[in-house]
Amino acid sequence: MTEEERKQAAQRFEQHLREIDSLRLKRIKGSYLLERAMKFCLALLVLFFALSAALAYLER
């Protein structure tokens, strides 16, 4: 393998690592957004149950 071929192989490998890192960061961002959405839904559910319990108590 010549020096030029080694350089090209190293550049291809570096580009491949950048692509893999980019995909990993996209997955992390996606899972973070999903986690936030699920926490928001959970907070709404807790609020709904708390209000339902409060209304049921006040109707007695």
pLDDT (tens digit per residue) in 36-59: 999 999 999 999 999 999 999 999
Report how far Cα 30 is from the mean position of its chain's Cα atoms.
Answer: 3
Q: What is the pLDDT of residue 14?
A: 96
1 DSSP 8-state letter: -
Q: Which pTM does this prediction carry?
A: 0.63
**Burial 22-31, CB ≥16 within 10 A → b, else e:** eeeeeeeeee
Q: From CA 8, how far away is CA 27, in angstroms rounded?
A: 29
Helical residues (DSSP H) of 1-60, grouped into ranges? 3-59
Q: Give the pLDDT confidence of 1-37 residue by residue, as tens digits.
A: 799 999 999 999 999 999 999 999 999 999 999 999 9
- Rg of the Cα trace of the chain? 26
